[in-house]
Structure 1
Amino acid sequence: MAASNILLLGGLIFMTCSMAFASDPSSTPLQDFCVADLKAPVLANGYICKDPKLVKPEDFYTSGLHIQRNVSDDCGSGSDSISVTEVPGINTLGISMGRVDLDIRGVIPPHYHPRASEIITVIQGTIEAGFVTSNPENRLISKLLKKGDVFVIPQGLVHFQRNIGNGHAVALTAFNSQNRGVVTVGNAVFGTKPTMSSDLLAKAFQVDDNIIHRLQANF
Structure 2
Amino acid sequence: MTMDSKLVILFFAVAMAIASSAMASDPSPLQDFCVADHASKVLVNGLVCKNPKYVTEKDFFFSGLDKANNSKSRVGSIVTPVNVVQIPGLNTLGISLVRIDFQPGGLNPPHTHPRATELLTVLEGTLGVGFVTSNSENRFISKVLKKGDVFTFPIGLIHFQINLGKDPVVAIAALSSQNPGVITIADALFGSKPPIDVNVLTKAFSLDKDVVEYLQDEFSD
TM-score (norm 1): 0.90
Q: CA deviation at 1:17?
A: 6.4
Q: CA deviation at 1:123?
A: 0.3
How big is each residue's C-alpha offset from its partner over 1:132-188, in whole Å with a ceiling of 9 and x where there is no partner? 101031111111111111101111110000000120000001111111111110011
Gaps of 5+ in 1: 1-5
2:79 corresponds to which residue? 79
Aligned partners of 2:123 and 2:57: how far apart in 1? Answer: 28
Give the AA of the match of 1:144: V
1:25 aligns with 2:5: no
Give the AA of the match of 1:160: F
Q: Secondary structure at the match of 1:80?
A: strand
Aligned partners of 2:50 and 2:114: how far apart in 1? Answer: 27
2:134 corresponds to which residue? 134
1:169 corresponds to which residue? 169
Q: Secondary structure at the match of 1:35?
A: coil
| Structure 1 segments of 4+ aligned residues over 4 angstroms from their partners | 6-24
1:201 corresponds to which residue? 201
2:106 corresponds to which residue? 106
Q: 1:96 to 1:18 in 2, by over 3 A?
A: closer
Give the AA of the match of 2:194: P
Aligned partners of 1:18 and 1:55: how far apart in 2? Answer: 43
Aligned partners of 2:195 and 2:4: how far apart in 1? Answer: 58
Q: CA deviation at 1:30?
A: 2.3
TM-score (norm 2): 0.89
Give the AA of the match of 1:47: L
Q: 1:91 to 1:209 in 2, by over 3 A?
A: same
**1:1-219 paired onto structure 2 within 5 Å:** 6=1, 8-9=3-4, 12=7, 21-22=17-18, 25=22, 27-219=27-219
How big is each residue's C-alpha offset from its partner over 1:44-81, in whole Å with a ceiling of 9 and x where there is no partner? 21111111111111110010001012111110101121
Aligned partners of 1:168 and 1:143: how far apart in 2? Answer: 18
Give the AA of the match of 2:22: P
Q: CA deviation at 1:39?
A: 0.7
Q: CA deviation at 1:9?
A: 4.9
Aligned partners of 2:195 and 2:184: how far apart in 1? Answer: 16
Alpha-carbon RMSD across the aligned residues, in angstroms, is: 2.0
Aligned partners of 2:36 and 2:126: how far apart in 1? Answer: 37
Q: CA deviation at 1:25?
A: 2.8
How many residue pairs match? The answer is: 214
Larger Rg: 1
Aligned partners of 2:34 and 2:189: how far apart in 1? Answer: 37
Q: Does the Cα contact within 8 Å between 2:46 and 2:92 map onto a contact in 1?
A: yes
Aligned partners of 2:121 and 2:163: how far apart in 1? Answer: 14
Q: Does the Cα contact within 8 Å between 2:28 and 2:92 map onto a contact in 1?
A: no
Gaps of 5+ in 2: none
Q: Secondary structure at the match of 2:142?
A: strand
Give the AA of the match of 1:81: P
